Amino acid sequence: MITMQKRVDRLHTTDDVQRLATVLQDPNRDLPVVVVSTPNGSTEPRFLMEQVVREVGDTAIINVIPTGPLTFHLSDTLGDDFGVYAGAGRIYPAGTDWLEDRTLAPLVFAYPDSDNREVTNKLTRRVYEVAGQGGAFNVTVTAGGRTTQHTLITDGPDWATVMAAVQADHDARQQQPQSAPKAPAVVVPAPTQTVTVQPVTRKKMAAEIEALTAELSRHQQEIRRLTATQPGTTNRALRDQVANLEGLIEDARADARAAHVQTARAEAKLADALAAAKENGRRIARAAKKGGNAVSTTDRPIPIDMFPTAEAAARHAILLAWVDRVPAAEKTNRPLPDYRVGPGFTDSFDSLTDTQTTKALRCVVDILTGRDDLAARRVHPLRTSDAGNAPAYVRDDGAVCFRASIESNTASARRLHYWKHPDGTLELIRIVVHDTFEP
């Protein structure tokens, strides 16, 4: 049984990291562990640690680790899939099942332009989820001279419980003399975590708005009924709760509008990509019909002489690889994001065969569309040497160099090197052989 104090443990040495790793890999550990990393070059996290300690200090063990050699040592000990660095926070659940499935140990990112309170609220919510508590809290309801405790959740007040207590008190008063009516007191403390309505599908969002609207209508009818029998301010608490519910409905509608805009943009981007692919196909057919050399992803994946710049040619080849690599059903959810192309990226294809070029473009598409968790890609930070404790390359602007496998089990297997900026933007560097240890 692991016990703890309500505090933050800061890691300063590799011995501290080793002790943390031992705790994390203890199958008898019955408490989740929160490890928050500091941004590059900073000694303080972007998360509000006083709030983290206050809200989850009784639920989890909290640690702060500076980004640099110590975070690399933690990744070397646990594996690259379970590290944390560059200002992010990771929650490791009790036990060791998470070592078989990294999704059980979620990451919470905190970028330079993030709202500190918002990312802190997200971190504490994830701690409750990992701990299996769901962010529950208690509410006191006093009605009919009786005080009862009810458990509510952070997704919103348990209206059925509250209104049942109010209804019971109202029915009791109807059977008592009218000389001394006594209003129910409903005390609902503010939840300790921010209520968030996540934008999902438009169909699901519309259903949620409809349900919230129906719930609001029922509470308004109850207020009108109670006000008719008890004029004055006896229902102020209920009115406040209805006002809060109206705010939630408006937030849900705003999220629905935003989801609609995002979907429209994704559909437009998909239409542009398909139009470009069709035009390329027509061009290939025309060239083949004339007996000339057709431009194809097999014969010449990056047709530099057909574009004004090498970067434009590379982006065209990546677009065609995306059309071929990502199934139609997944294209809306896996669009090509905004990315950067380094000055030597296109030139690094010169020494590749056609087959290697095709493999390299597929690897680029996997990385850009968020499929860097594929086992074949073996994505990890690029270290300054092959020593186990060597630090990763980090630029002055905070970008971290990563490498992904294009080939395996072959001589001079190729790797993709790319920068990952603090805001998540990816910058393609070049294609190299596996024993290259510089960006």
Instruction: Name the nearest CA neighbour of 40 among 108, 88, 89, 86.
Output: 86
Cβ within 8 Å of residue 156, ≥6 positions away: 195, 245, 248
Q: What is the mean pLDDT of residues 140-166?
A: 48
Angle at 25 between CA 56 and CA 22, to 5 degrees: 90
Asked if the model's pLDDT at residue 211 lies above 90, the reply is no
Angle at 107 between CA 104 and CA 111, to 5 degrees: 170
CA distance 285 to 383: 46
What CATH architecture is 295-433? 2-Layer Sandwich (3.30)
Convert 373-404 to b/e letters by CB count within 10 Å (16 or more is b).
Answer: eeeebebbbbbeeeeeebebbbeeebbbbbbb
Q: How far is CA 204 from the centre of its chain?
A: 20
Residue 403 near residue 417 (C-beta atoms within 8 A): yes
Higher pLDDT, 126 or 212: 126
Using DSSP's 3-state secondary structure scheme, residue 423 falls into coil
Phi, psi for residue 294 in degrees, rounded to 5: -75, 145
Q: What is the mean pLDDT of residues 138-166?
A: 47
Q: What is the mean pLDDT of residues 375-386?
A: 86
Residue 65 near residue 36 (C-beta atoms within 8 A): yes
pLDDT at 340: 95
CA distance 165 to 146: 10
Taking each helix axis from N to C terminus, what angle separates 202-229 and 159-174, rounded to the nearest 10 degrees? 20
CA distance 21 to 65: 12
Q: What is the mean pLDDT of residues 216-239?
A: 61
Distances in Å between the Cα of 199 and the Cα atoms of 111, 283, 380 are 21, 41, 31
Residue 184 near residue 235 (C-beta atoms within 8 A): no
Distances in Å between the Cα of 344 and the Cα atoms of 261, 303, 338, 383 are 36, 16, 19, 20
Residue 342 near residue 432 (C-beta atoms within 8 A): no
pLDDT at 184: 45
Instruction: Name the nearest CA neighbour of 39 among 429, 400, 403.
Output: 400
pLDDT at 12: 93
CA distance 381 to 391: 9
Q: pLDDT class for 63, splitting at 50, 70, 90?
A: very high
Q: Please identify which residue in the block is written with the tokens 């109850």.
A: 222
242-298 confidence digits (pLDDT tens): 777 777 788 888 888 888 787 777 777 777 767 766 676 666 566 555 554 433 444
Higher pLDDT, 192 or 109: 109
What's the CATH number for 8-131? 3.40.30.10
pLDDT at 194: 39
Two tokens, residue 269: 């981007």
pLDDT at 401: 95
Asked if the model's pLDDT at residue 384 lies above 90, the reply is no
DSSP label at residue 153:
B
How many helices (H) and strands (E) would you count in the chain? 9, 13
pLDDT at 62: 94
Quote the pTM value.
Answer: 0.35
Angle at 438 between CA 437 and CA 439, to 5 degrees: 130
For residue 229, which amino acid is it? T
Q: pLDDT class for 231, splitting at 50, 70, 90?
A: very low
Query: What is the C-alpha R_g of the chain?
Result: 28
Residue 11 near residue 70 (C-beta atoms within 8 A): yes
Phi, psi for residue 178 in degrees, rounded to 5: -80, 0
Angle at 90 between CA 15 and CA 98, to 5 degrees: 90
Residue 402 near residue 417 (C-beta atoms within 8 A): yes
353-374 confidence digits (pLDDT tens): 888 999 999 999 999 999 988 8
What are the boundaries of each domain within the chain? 8-131, 136-196, 198-292, 295-433
